[in-house]
Chains A and B, each alone.
Chain A
Amino acid sequence: DTAVSQTPKYLVTQMGNDKSIKCEQNLGHDTMYWYKQDSKKFLKIMFSYNNKELIINETVPNRFSPKSPDKAHLNLHINSLELGDSAVYFCASSETQGRYNNEQFFGPGTRLTVL
């Protein structure tokens, strides 16, 4: 069974549209993340979230918003898409026991292309 899954795998859309990417983990982890990997392969944290706290990278535009219906899901909503939003978006999860960090498991990625 897939530990961290994302849908869709590919997303092609027009500028100005609103879109969502879904993420689910079946590992029972308490923390989920969204990362953006641009065309130069740079991986950057966008959000980290557990049921207590949302941490937002200050460089992320407010057009991006995470939504967590429950502990196993963290969806990413993007409003008014721009060309520069084209990238691969990775969801990840981990069990974070206070200050003690554990392995983050990544989803397969969603390649977003904005035309």
Chain B
Amino acid sequence: GENVEQHPSTLSVQEGDSAVIKCTYSDSASNYFPWYKQELGKRPQLIIDIRSNVGEKKDQRIAVTLNKTAKHFSLHITETQPEDSAVYFCAAKRGADGLTFGKGTHLIIQP
């Protein structure tokens, strides 16, 4: 089955700086790669996703890049703000399978 590795497990950045979280996946048949943000005690919420026919996608301060050959994808958050503090999960999916999640990154924004 699919295996998703996510790094780092904790990331602390100064407010206003950029944050980058990286993931690798194992199954070349995976074709959908979402990123979820989870605040304490809340449900995971999608912040951005990318499909395998696209190399990069951007939404305001958030961007995701995908390298299918290397089987890795990354989340970039620019101009970080205190409300960006949360746990971020990458995931991979193929077909009707459920999402296979990475183990999460705890992002801490230092004021």
Contact = CB atoms under 8 A, between A and B. Distances in A.
Contact of B44 (A40, A43, A48): A43
B61 to A, nearest CB: 19
Interface of A: 31, 33, 35, 40-48, 50, 53, 55, 57-58, 90, 96, 99-101, 103-109
A90 B98 contact: no
Interface residues of B, number: 24
Contacts of A33: 98-99
Contact of B93 (A90, A101, A109): A101
Interface stretch (B11-19, B66-74, B76-84, B100-108): B100-108
A53 B95 CA distance: 12
A50 B98 contact: no
A40 B51 CA distance: 28
B97 interface: yes
13 contacts: A35-B98, A41-B104, A42-B101, A45-B98, A45-B101, A58-B1, A96-B96, A99-B31, A101-B31, A101-B32, A103-B46, A104-B99, A108-B43
